[in-house]
Chain A
Amino acid sequence: MTEDERIAALFASPDRAPDEAFVARIERAVRAEQRAAAARRTAWRRFAIEFAASAAIVVAFGLLRRLGATELPLGQLPVAPAAAAAMLVLGLWFAVELRPAAAGR
């Protein structure tokens, strides 16, 4: 027997069946990882939607403020910007309240 064969024989371990307890431990850890990843994704999605909604509110108030600054008689006020601002607020409400519910909140 050569030196290399002696060394290899020394390192040789008998084959054994897979350790199912260890496999189950890893499976549990993987499931926990999957749950944590899903929770992170949901949190980021909500953050993005709510950030966009907040930005939309600021823009809407900015538009309304510019409308209020004009001193035109009521009948001559431009309707389109006011309608656009109202649509923006409505869209904002839709994004914040309905989208997360659809995503399974």
Chain B
Amino acid sequence: MDQDSELARRAAAGDAAAFAALVRAHEAAVRRFLRRLAADSGDDLAQETFLTAWRRAGHYRGAGRYRAWLMRIAWTTFLGAHRAGRRREAREGGVGPWQAPTDPDLAIDLDRVLATLSERERAAALLCFGEGCSHAEAAEIMGLPLGTLKSIVARARAALVERLEAGNDRG
């Protein structure tokens, strides 16, 4: 049993210190993913993600990486917040464009390019290129069939290459 699985088992038994160790190990990846998906509300969504992980700690069965399980919760948390935001904005008139994060740690060029992708393309690119997930893992995280995920990644990759090259040509 790896360290994460052991900590997850203890967290499921109500050990808050074990859960804090899991938060310490994975907060950077979860926040990076959510900040790039949801811009400035990324940290609030990350907090919601970890609280959901705490409440559902007993559901982690040790199959697959703990980080992938956490990323799946992060993705569904983002989707829920995103849909609620769209409904609210539709009621209030018009859906605003995605805003690039204001976090200076994140690369500006990449953010500009990511902003041109759809949410699913952005998430698939972040998982496969940014977090080193396999296609199968990313498909599991996003709740998509493997073939669909591969198509999305291919589209995202093509868009990234095209826009980065366009940027290089201008530069």
Residues of A within 8 A of B (CB): 3-4, 6-8, 10-13, 15-16, 18-20, 22-23, 25-27, 29-31, 33-34
Q: Is the CB of A7 within 8 A of B51?
A: no
Q: Is the CB of B51 within 8 A of A30?
A: yes
Residues of B within 8 A of A (CB): 14, 16, 19-20, 23-25, 27-28, 31-32, 43, 46-47, 50-51, 54-55, 105-107, 109-110, 125-126, 129-130, 157, 160-161, 164
User: Is the contact region of chain B dominated by helix, strand, or loop, or is it mixed?
Assistant: helix
Task: Answer whether A13 and B51 are a contact pair too, CB < 8 Å, given A6-B164, A7-B157, A27-B16.
Answer: no
How far in angstroms is the closest Cβ of chain B from A21?
A: 10
Across-interface contacts of B126 in A (CB, < 8 A): 11
Across-interface contacts of A29 in B (CB, < 8 A): 47, 50-51
Cα–Cα distance between A49 and B14 once the two chains are bound (Å): 26
Cα–Cα distance between A79 and B66 once the two chains are bound (Å): 66
Across-interface contacts of B105 in A (CB, < 8 A): 13
